[in-house]
């Protein structure tokens, strides 16, 4: 039996390592999490390095030793961030699995569009935690908590500015009813909301996902926006979805609607969002992501607006550990060894 050399450039717990090694006796797993942190600090923006790397981690081994690790790997398990030139150095690489869900994370690397099979954990992240984040954002603006925070800072109540809403019976439009969007729909429906949404592929006559009362293809989005009190952006960032939420989309929204983005910042035209807030057309926006989030802080026009809640891309962070990204890697690992198809393999033309 030949040996399958797997390199993890992501830190793994003992339990995760054991889970991977249990897939097959042929596996030789090397865990080099943190080894490349020095290179990442040199090549990634300082803001991103400080955000995602442990503060005292500056890498391990020599460049020659790290190159040898990469060159000997047939399979690599990666995370975020990672070396931009990974493909060039991993000459024997046949399959790379990225633990995060977003394929767009790889855009600036030489893996993008390469001959290597690349898979993601799309649909296997902490989708429940992200769904709860969307629900929390809905209540944040529905109950005017943003204005209560402003009043505390001012030291006086402005009673008339508070305009609480009853959430039950309101409509939420989920853009991208995939892994995250399915949990968003299920949770929102559980509190009595009407859930509608879009998905790239809709099969006529197929059962609707749990909680959904309507599901249509993206070309119907404008009409659906006009019905929605809350809009949750859960889709992948692709050329088709870049600035999908632009001035026309905001104008199509119901006056007083709330926007929630747990996908990628590039899906929203932030200038158009600023304008929609300035005119009072939107009640508020919750942004777990923003344009340029790996380079620096958010646009000050958004960050300083009390109608905007901004968090540092942590909607999936919870007190409960999530090993589903390792589960999909192990399932794909079994398929790889058996010569089968890999789940969540990126189609470079579609961007995911």
- Among candidate residues 39, 266, 270, 293, the one labeled active-site is 293
Could you give the C-alpha distances from 17 to 23, 28, 95, 102, 296, in angstroms and in order?
A: 10, 11, 18, 23, 34
Residue 27: closest CA among 6, 58, 8: 6
**Residue 313 annotated as catalytic:** yes
Q: Is 2 in contact with 65 (CB distance < 8 Å)?
A: no
Residue 148 CA to residue 164 CA, distance in Å, equals 11
**Residue 264 annotated as catalytic:** yes
DSSP-assigned states of every residue in 58-106: ---S-HHHHHHHHHT-SEEEE-SS--TTHHHH-TT--EEEESSS-GGGG
Residue 180 CA to residue 196 CA, distance in Å, equals 14
Q: What is the largest CA-CA distance in the chain?
A: 74
- Among candidate residues 41, 97, 122, 264, the one labeled active-site is 264
**Residue 307 annotated as catalytic:** no
Could you give the C-alpha distances from 163 to 90, 146, 147, 321, in angstroms and in order?
A: 57, 11, 9, 37
Active site residues: 264, 293, 313
């Amino acid at each position: 039996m030949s040996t399958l050399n797997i390199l993890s450039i992501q830190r793994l717990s003992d339990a995760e390592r054991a889970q991977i090694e249990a897939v097959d006796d042929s596996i030789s797993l090397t865990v080099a999490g943190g080894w490349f942190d020095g290179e990442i600090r040199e090549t990634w923006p300082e803001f991103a390095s400080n955000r995602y790397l442990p503060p005292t981690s500056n890498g391990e081994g020599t460049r020659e030793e790290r190159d040898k690790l990469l060159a000997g790997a047939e399979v690599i398990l990666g995370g975020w961030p990672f070396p931009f030139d990974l493909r060039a150095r991993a000459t024997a690489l046949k399959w790379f699995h990225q633990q995060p869900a977003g394929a767009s994370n790889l855009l600036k690397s030489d893996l993008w569009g390469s001959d290597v099979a690349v898979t993601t954990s799309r649909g296997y992240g902490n989708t429940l935690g992200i769904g709860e984040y969307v629900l929390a954002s809905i209540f944040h603006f529905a109950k005017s908590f943003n204005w209560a925070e402003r009043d505390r800072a001012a030291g006086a109540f402005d009673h008339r500015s508070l305009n609480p809403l009853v959430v039950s019976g309101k409509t939420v439009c989920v853009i991208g009813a995939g892994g995250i969007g399915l949990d968003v729909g299920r949770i929102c429906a559980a509190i009595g909301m009407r859930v509608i949404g879009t998905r790239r592929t809709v099969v006529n006559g197929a059962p609707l996902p749990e909680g959904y009362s309507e599901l249509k293809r993206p070309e119907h989005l404008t009409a659906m926006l006009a019905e929605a009190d809350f809009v949750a952006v859960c889709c992948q960032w692709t050329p088709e979805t870049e600035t999908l939420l632009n001035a026309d989309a905001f104008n199509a929204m119901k006056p007083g609607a709330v926007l929630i983005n747990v996908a990628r910042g590039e899906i929203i035209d932030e200038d158009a969002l600023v304008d929609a807030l300035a005119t009072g057309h939107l009640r508020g926006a919750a942004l777990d992501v923003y344009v340029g989030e790996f380079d620096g802080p958010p646009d000050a026009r958004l960050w300083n607006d009390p109608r905007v809640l901004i968090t540092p891309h942590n909607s999936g962070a919870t007190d409960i550990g999530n090993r589903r990204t390792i589960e999909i890697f192990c399932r794909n690992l079994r398929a790889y060894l058996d010569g089968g198809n890999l789940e969540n393999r990126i189609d470079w033309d579609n961007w995911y």
